[in-house]
C-alpha cells in the first residue's frame, strides 16, 4: 500500500510541476501590459484583455500550492518507509539449538593402571 501511494503522489507531483512550468511560460511579463494598452491584440483573446492574466495567475497559484503539498507528502512518505535489511540473513529466524543426548554415561574416573 505504501509503495502504491508513494508512486501516485510522485506521479501527481511531476505532472503538477510540468503544468506549473507550462503556465509560467505562457504568462506575459509585466512589460507586456504596456503593449496591450496600445492595441497589440491581446484584448481580442479568449478571456479579454485582463481575464487571461487573472485566470492564469490563479491557476498557477493553485498548482503551486498542490506542488508544495505533494512535496511535503513525498518527504513524509519517504521518511516513514521501513528500513531495508542490511544483510540477507537479517530477517532469517533460526530454531533454538537442542543439546544432544548422550547414548551412554561417560566414565570420568581416572584410569587404573594395569598390573604387569
Q: Using one digit for the tens of pLDDT, what is the confidence trace for 27-72? A: 877 666 555 555 555 555 555 555 566 888 899 999 999 999 999 9
Element housing 62 (H / E): helix 51-79
What is the residue whose three cell numbers read 503556465?
Answer: 23
What is the residue whose three cell numbers read 508544495?
Answer: 68
23 and 63 Cβ atoms separated by less than 8 Å: yes
Threshold 0.75, pTM exceeds: no
- Does 73 score more than 90 pLDDT? yes
Q: What is the structure's pLDDT at 12?
A: 96
Chain mean position to CA 53: 33
What is the overall mean pLDDT for the chain? 78
End-to-end CA distance of the chain: 84
**96 pLDDT band (50/70/90 cuts)?**
confident
- DSSP-assigned letter for residue 49: T
Which residue, 104, 28, 27, is CA-closest to 60? Answer: 27
Percent share of the chain, pLDDT over 90 = 34
Amino acid at each position: 500500500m505504501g509503495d502504491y501511494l508513494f508512486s501516485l503522489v510522485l506521479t501527481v507531483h511531476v505532472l503538477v510541476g510540468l503544468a506549473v512550468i507550462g503556465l509560467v511560460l505562457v504568462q506575459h511579463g509585466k512589460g507586456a501590459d504596456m503593449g496591450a494598452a496600445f492595441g497589440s491584440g491581446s484584448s481580442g483573446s479568449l478571456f479579454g484583455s485582463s481575464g487571461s492574466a487573472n485566470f492564469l495567475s490563479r491557476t498557477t497559484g493553485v498548482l503551486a500550492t498542490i506542488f508544495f503539498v505533494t512535496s511535503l507528502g513525498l518527504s513524509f512518505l519517504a521518511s516513514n518507509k521501513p528500513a531495508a535489511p542490511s544483510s540477507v540473513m537479517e530477517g532469517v529466524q533460526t530454531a533454538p539449538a537442542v543439546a544432544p543426548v548422550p547414548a551412554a554415561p561417560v566414565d570420568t574416573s581416572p584410569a587404573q593402571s594395569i598390573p604387569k
